[in-house]
A and B are shown apart, each in its own frame.
Chain A
Amino acid sequence: MTTDTATRPAASDADRPGPIKAVPVRHPGRWVAIAIIAVLAAMLVHLLVTNKAFDWDFVFQAMNQKPVINGFLKGTLLVTVLSMVVGVAGGVILAVMRLSDNPILSGVAWLFTWFFRSIPRYILLFTMGTLGILFQQGISFGVPFDWKIIDWLGLSGDWRFFTLDANQIFTGLVAGVIGLGLSEAAYMAEIARAGILSVDKGQAEAAQALGMSSGKVMRRVVLPQAMRVIVPPTGNETIAMLKDTSLLLAVPVLGELFYQLQSIGSTYYKTFPIAVAATLYYLAATSVLMVGQYFLERHFGRGFGTQAPRAARPAGAGGA
């Protein structure tokens, strides 16, 4: 259809319009928006700098107190890391159980997820702090129902290797980590399950055909590829966990960041600067986590076209 453009100018050379005076498209709306934002930003800076209620000296002094720093390192960072380790490990195990052909295993995984997703974290942590009452004799490791068996055999003594004091387990950081970790495992189980299901069935078949056992198929082939899908929401979960460590007060964990800051605030009757101090701590920690997430995503994105030029990728590659 070249005739259309080729013939028209020749036929009507006289009617031809002169060259266009091109004027860039105006964006008045943008300029208005920029002006409004600039004014709001100036107001914010003015507020931050001049408003005496901020009391920046007090904010930084409070942030610099030893119990507060300890609260940040142990109560916030350490608990986040430990809870996420429990949560991710537990979640992957639960996801594998949930996808198993064995109805008992998948049923148990479902029940766990149902239970821990149903309870608000604050109430779960409060409950963890009170669980010691169930085990007043302590928690023993040994033969289950040993006293019944011993009684039945007409013997005496016990078959226990060591006993832990339940009131020590279900207090403080340990209770916090158990509570947050179990709750997180329930959420991570769903994330890990979605990740595992995202891997093409042909991958597991190819690995099986090479003679790999089902454990090896999972560890060497399926999970590394599932991580690509698992990591981004896990980063999200880690950031949420960082903030949920402030719920540790329910256990109670007194060495926690916000509790320590609040006790300073109530001593000096300065509530607002304390809120600012806590905000700054959480902003800093979250920023660091986001950087870490970037590198994790890059690591597990290997081989998925991030480094490969798009043109080099064949249309049907990677399985249907």
Chain B
Amino acid sequence: MALVEIKNLHKSFGSNHVLRGIDFTVEQGEVVCVIGPSGSGKSTLLRCVNLLEVPEVGEVFVRGEDITDRDCHLDAARQQIGMVFQQFNLFPHLSVLANCTVAQTSVLKRGKAEAEQIARANLDRVGLNEKVTAYPMQLSGGQQQRVAIARALSMDPALMLFDEPTSALDPELVGDVLTVMRKLALDGMTMLVVTHEMAFAREVADRVVFMDAGVIVEQGPPAEVIGNPKEERTRTFLRRVLDPTHVEPTP
């Protein structure tokens, strides 16, 4: 059984039809990168997986459970899905350690000592064990994003969603975050990553999904989708991303 299975997903914002029928699965242990031009619906697709956006049509199954079903216990389903945001969204009123323990103690009902131990282990994993007492705004963007990853990992998720995790970072800070994500992938974490980092997708992903205008245009191993795309739309997109200064000859 696939960890995530999405069937015929449609989502509109007003008259803007963002997702136009997505069918898509993520297997246990798989790293899937979603690429595509902005406005193609890739972030919306990701946010539908933990129902931060509620689709109008279609079903989302997580471990076989339909989370779009009204009877589904959504909060419980979300505990198994960690999410990392483009803007980090750390809780600024809590210390780094408290950011990583607040959901453990209030949602999973872990004791304070146990929660702090787990939080410290995960902060260690992202290389920030010396920052436990700092407040988020005292950290650099790259450090904040790594705390956000540790916060999500502290809930022991079965799946991690990454919504353009490096897009808000200064270029020299991107590497630290990607290194942490690469390590996570090697540890066998199931990951669904919306990204513009083609090098990362090529190296780490088991599968790359190219989206445009609310549909999946093509998907497959990175060597095929990025290295040798079949579709013209994919080729156009990759030309722009890989060589941004290139000017297309007007026919």
Q: Which of A's residues lie within 8 Å of B, judged by CB?
A: 200, 202-203, 205-213, 216, 220-221, 224-225, 228, 300, 302-305, 307-309, 312-314, 316-320
**Which residues from 58 to 86 on chain B have a C-beta closer than 8 Å to any C-beta of chain A?**
75-76, 78-79, 81-83, 85
Q: Does A225 lie within 8 Å of B103, measured CB to CB? A: no
Closest 8 CB pairs of A and B: A211-B79, A206-B89, A210-B103, A303-B135, A209-B83, A202-B89, A319-B87, A211-B78
Minimum CB–CB distance from B128 to chain A (whole Å) comes to: 15
What residues on B are CB-neighbors of A207 within 8 Å? 91, 103
What residues on A are CB-neighbors of B92 within 8 Å? 225, 303-304, 318
- Please tell me if B151 contacts chain A, counting CB pairs below 8 Å: yes
- Please tell me if B102 contacts chain A, counting CB pairs below 8 Å: yes
With an 8 Å Cβ cutoff, the count of chain B residues facing the other chain is 38
Question: With A and B bound together, what is the CA distance between A318 and B93 in angstroms?
Answer: 11
- Please tell me if B210 contacts chain A, counting CB pairs below 8 Å: no
Q: Does B136 lie within 8 Å of A303, measured CB to CB? A: yes
Q: List 23 A-B contacts (CB under 8 A).
A: A205-B89, A209-B50, A209-B83, A210-B155, A211-B75, A211-B76, A211-B107, A216-B106, A220-B106, A225-B93, A303-B95, A313-B137, A313-B138, A314-B141, A314-B144, A314-B170, A316-B141, A317-B88, A317-B137, A318-B88, A318-B136, A319-B87, A319-B89
Question: With A and B bound together, what is the CA distance between A207 and B103 in angstroms?
Answer: 8
Minimum CB–CB distance from B40 to chain A (whole Å) comes to: 20
- Please tell me if B217 contacts chain A, counting CB pairs below 8 Å: no
- Please tell me if B94 contacts chain A, counting CB pairs below 8 Å: yes
What residues on A are CB-neighbors of B79 within 8 Å? 210-211
Q: Does A205 lie within 8 Å of B85, measured CB to CB? A: yes
Q: Does A209 lie within 8 Å of B106, measured CB to CB? A: no
What residues on A are CB-neighbors of B140 within 8 Å? 314
Question: With A and B bound together, what is the CA distance between A302 and B83 in angstroms?
Answer: 25
Partner of A211, one of B85, B103, B137, B169: B103
Closest to A214 in B: B75
What residues on B are CB-neighbors of A213 within 8 Å? 75
Question: With A and B bound together, what is the CA distance between A51 and B55 in angstroms?
Answer: 78
Instruction: Decide yes or no: A303 and B93 within 8 Å by CB, A209-B50, A317-B136, A319-B88 being known contacts.
Output: yes
- Please tell me if B168 contacts chain A, counting CB pairs below 8 Å: yes
Minimum CB–CB distance from A318 to chain B (whole Å) comes to: 6
Given contacts A313-B137, A314-B139, 15 further A-B contacts (CB under 8 A): A206-B91, A208-B52, A209-B52, A211-B76, A211-B107, A211-B155, A225-B93, A304-B92, A304-B93, A305-B137, A308-B137, A314-B140, A314-B141, A316-B87, A317-B139
- Please tell me if B211 contacts chain A, counting CB pairs below 8 Å: no
Partner of B137, one of A208, A216, A318: A318
Q: How many A-B residue pairs have CB under 8 A?
A: 105
Q: Does A212 lie within 8 Å of B91, measured CB to CB? A: no
- Please tell me if B115 contacts chain A, counting CB pairs below 8 Å: no
Minimum CB–CB distance from B108 to chain A (whole Å) comes to: 8
Partner of A320, one of B75, B76, B87: B87
Instruction: Decide yes or no: A210 and B137 within 8 Å by CB, A303-B94, A319-B88, A319-B89 being known contacts.
Output: no
Which of A205, A210, A228, A303 gathers most chain B CB within 10 Å?
Answer: A210
Q: Does B52 lie within 8 Å of A221, measured CB to CB? A: no
**Which residues from 111 to 159 on chain B have a C-beta closer than 8 Å to any C-beta of chain A?**
135-141, 144, 148, 151-152, 155
Minimum CB–CB distance from A130 to chain B (whole Å) comes to: 45
Question: With A and B bound together, what is the CA distance between A313 and B94 in angstroms?
Answer: 16
What residues on B are CB-neighbors of A317 within 8 Å? 88, 136-137, 139, 141, 144
Minimum CB–CB distance from A99 to chain B (whole Å) comes to: 18
Q: Does A209 lie within 8 Å of B137, measured CB to CB? A: no
Question: With A and B bound together, what is the CA distance between A221 and B93 in angstroms?
Answer: 8
Q: Does A220 lie within 8 Å of B102, measured CB to CB? A: yes
Partner of A205, one of B52, B103, B107: B52
Question: With A and B bound together, what is the CA distance between A304 and B95 in angstroms?
Answer: 11
Closest to A202 in B: B89
What residues on B are CB-neighbors of A303 within 8 Å? 92-95, 135-137
Question: With A and B bound together, what is the CA distance between A302 and B93 in angstroms?
Answer: 6
Closest to A308 in B: B138
Question: With A and B bound together, what is the CA distance between A314 and B148 in angstroms?
Answer: 16
What residues on B are CB-neighbors of A309 within 8 Å? 138
Question: With A and B bound together, what is the CA distance between A224 and B75 in angstroms?
Answer: 21
Q: Does B93 lie within 8 Å of A202, measured CB to CB? A: no
Which of A220, A225, A228, A317 gathers most chain B CB within 10 Å?
Answer: A317
What residues on B are CB-neighbors of A318 within 8 Å? 87-88, 92, 136-137
Minimum CB–CB distance from B35 to chain A (whole Å) comes to: 22
Which of A220, A302, A312 gathers most chain B CB within 10 Å?
Answer: A220
Partner of B75, one of A203, A212, A221, A314: A212
Question: With A and B bound together, what is the CA distance between A213 and B139 in angstroms?
Answer: 28
Question: With A and B bound together, what is the CA distance between A171 and B89 in angstroms?
Answer: 50
